[in-house]
Amino acid sequence: MRVLVVEDEVSLAETVREGLVGEGFAVDVVHTGPDGLWAATEHPFDVVVLDLLLPGLSGYEVCRRLRERKVWTPVLGVWNTTPSRPGGRMGGRQGRARRPRRCWVAPVRRSHAAVSTCPTRTRR
């Protein structure tokens, strides 16, 4: 399974990458919203682990633009604290979780499994 990690905190991104690679995932890491949008649009990923508070473009905006471009890769949004945003929701994302104290292996597997086991989805 190929995972894209979009996280601006380099040490945290490296910790997540190492944990996922250790579990057999192929992992690419980028550190800004625009880089995450480009990578997720140009390359096939099974899941995107997306920080919601990124430089350049927020994770919310990255996800919105991915969906506009008909990229339906599951997105797991992560943050350190709950953002103060009306509705507090990111349209099109598969899940959200606080930043890890441990690796994201289980949430990434669950996100992929939920999509893999779904009957054919209607895509807008």
For residue range 50-61, what is the model confidence (pLDDT) as tens digits?
998 899 999 999
CATH of domain 2-116: 3.40.50.2300
Residue 54 identity: L
**Tokens 């190929």 belong to which residue?**
2
Domain boundaries, the chain: 2-116
For residue range 65-77, what is the model confidence (pLDDT) as tens digits?
999 999 999 998 8
Residue 115 identity: V
For residue range 10-49, what is the model confidence (pLDDT) as tens digits?
988 998 899 899 889 999 999 999 999 999 999 999 999 9
pLDDT of residue 78: 82
- On whether the CB atoms of residues 39 and 30 are closer than 8 A, the answer is yes
| Beta bridge pairs of residue 75 | 48
